[in-house]
Structure 1
């Protein structure tokens, strides 16, 4: 059994998608759809930069989605591959969940782009710059990370945001609490804490204004549901009906990305082959969670051709 998986924020880079667009009209079509939906030259920004603008949350989120779905579109059209025939489930890390949902028909590309643009803007606006922070905890399991977050909070928000793999957990909250957590890592048996270069504290209760904005937007967005199961970030369980998808996407804004549990649940369900579209961020995590799994990262035309030959 096989899952198609989609990366989240941090996988963006200037030049992303340019070679694929030059090689395939189907990739160009996706980038044009996104540009039209957003009323901006996002693909030009992806191709040429500047990096500071691409890294802005409101640009990075739809850009990463566009790149991943362009890669998938080329596989489908030029490789004559139907996702319903070649995958048994999908999943995405944080914003990647929107890419996954679009891949299995829950939202079209234009709708997904608009939702992610709003999501990025709302998340950035939820907390004044400088008041929030995130940190990666290396050598931390979930129990150690939760204990550290509790000790560092001291009346402020400090919570686990991403449970990525057995050795990497990300915490999020007020800057003071996150800085205290970094100082306390050794006391909790954690190897290291690294402040992340992010502009807002994602996936924590401080994001509630963004969750409210997404609730309103998603309530007004039609969806037929998904034609393959989507392992949701906040439950680490499969979902396919439209109402539950909307509800979980709202919860995801403030909730924990349970990536480790999601991959483990898929592996336990018999999924042993994972294909990441548009990045090489998730593949190492999957191998740390499920060492016996097969993992492939698909970015270039050569990657796509190799995948067609394999599946």
Structure 2
């Protein structure tokens, strides 16, 4: 039993995908198609830009997706296998769920690039710069986190953005409420609380304007049934139904990314291999900590294919 996972925002870095593009024509074609789709030389930003440029939400989201799809295309070529022969399930962290849907043929690479560019801009525009924040709580469970958040609701919106792993929860909302939650966290036994370097408070109720934008955009896209079931961020359950998949992407904008439960589901399935495709090893690290007897690998550059 194999699961392929796709990374989310935070895994971006300058140079990602360049080596793959130089060595495999399949990867090169993915990056060219994404550039054309959004009418922007995104690869120039990815390979020659600054950290600030690549971290801009509207750049990071299509860039991370392009890297992951490029790796998948090369993997399919090298192994001479199609996706259903490589994975039993797919899932992606936040924007990675869009990558999973592209990989599974729910919508095209071009459509995904346009959607993620729009999603990045809409999320950025939902909250004026400096008014929102996200923070990671280390060494705490979701229930304790919720108790802390209940204490700050009079100050402003503050929700669980990502339930990432055992002992790792990310909160998201109004900056003043997030700061107050950090202040209170020690008294609730939180080992460490760190403000995250993000430009907007993702996956909380403040993202409602972005949710409306995505609902309208997604309503115009024809969804096809996925060739492999996709485990949803919002339900932590596998889905094949196109209407549910579409609704999940709408709900996802303001909802918690339930990654810890996704890894618990992998445990229940007795998954033997989790393969992270694209930039970074964040999800590989979580899988190694949370899934029993699993082989977790990430594939990002040419030499990584050997371990597969």
Tell me the TM-score normalised to structure 1 length: 0.97
CA distance in 1: counterparts of 2:152 and 2:190, whole angstroms: 14
CA distance in 2: counterparts of 1:153 and 1:193, whole angstroms: 18
CA distance in 2: counterparts of 1:293 and 1:154, whole angstroms: 43
Any idea what SS the aligned residue of 1:118 has?
helix
CA distance in 2: counterparts of 1:190 and 1:291, whole angstroms: 25
CA distance in 2: counterparts of 1:272 and 1:146, whole angstroms: 32
Verify the 8 A CA contact 2:266 2:291 in the aligned structure 1.
no
Mapping of residues 1-311 of structure 1, within 5 Å? 1-278=1-278, 279-307=280-308
Any idea what SS the aligned residue of 1:254 has?
coil
Alpha-carbon distance, 1:153 to partner: 2.5
Alpha-carbon distance, 1:109 to partner: 0.7
1:230-266: per-residue Cα shift (whole Å, max 9, x none)?
0000000011121111100000000000000011112
Deviates more, 1:288-297 or 1:25-34: 288-297
CA distance in 1: counterparts of 2:68 and 2:78, whole angstroms: 16
CA distance in 1: counterparts of 2:78 and 2:285, whole angstroms: 28
1:74-106: per-residue Cα shift (whole Å, max 9, x none)?
111233121111210000000001111111111
Extract unaligned runs of 5+ from structure 2: none
CA distance in 2: counterparts of 1:220 and 1:107, whole angstroms: 11
CA distance in 1: counterparts of 2:244 and 2:28, whole angstroms: 32
Q: What do you get for the CA RMSD once the two structures are aligned? A: 1.0
Any idea what SS the aligned residue of 1:201 has?
coil
CA distance in 2: counterparts of 1:6 and 1:24, whole angstroms: 20
Q: Displaced runs of 4+ in structure 1, greater than 3 A?
A: none
Verify the 8 A CA contact 2:149 2:159 in the aligned structure 1.
yes
CA distance in 1: counterparts of 2:9 and 2:194, whole angstroms: 17
Alpha-carbon distance, 1:155 to partner: 4.3
Alpha-carbon distance, 1:172 to partner: 0.3
1:1-41: per-residue Cα shift (whole Å, max 9, x none)?
00000000000000000111111111000000100100000
Any idea what SS the aligned residue of 2:253 has?
helix
Alpha-carbon distance, 1:123 to partner: 0.2
Any idea what SS the aligned residue of 2:274 has?
strand
CA distance in 2: counterparts of 1:70 and 1:305, whole angstroms: 17
Any idea what SS the aligned residue of 2:208 has?
helix
Any idea what SS the aligned residue of 2:236 has?
coil
CA distance in 2: counterparts of 1:304 and 1:287, whole angstroms: 19
Deviates more, 1:5-14 or 1:267-276: 267-276
Any idea what SS the aligned residue of 2:293 has?
coil
Verify the 8 A CA contact 1:79 1:305 in the aligned structure 2.
no
Extract unaligned runs of 5+ from structure 1: none
Aligned pair count?
307
Verify the 8 A CA contact 2:139 2:168 in the aligned structure 1.
yes
CA distance in 2: counterparts of 1:241 and 1:227, whole angstroms: 11
Tell me the TM-score normalised to structure 2 length: 0.98
Verify the 8 A CA contact 1:152 1:184 in the aligned structure 2.
no
Deviates more, 1:39-48 or 1:73-82: 73-82
Alpha-carbon distance, 1:60 to partner: 0.2
Alpha-carbon distance, 1:108 to partner: 1.2
Alpha-carbon distance, 1:156 to partner: 1.2
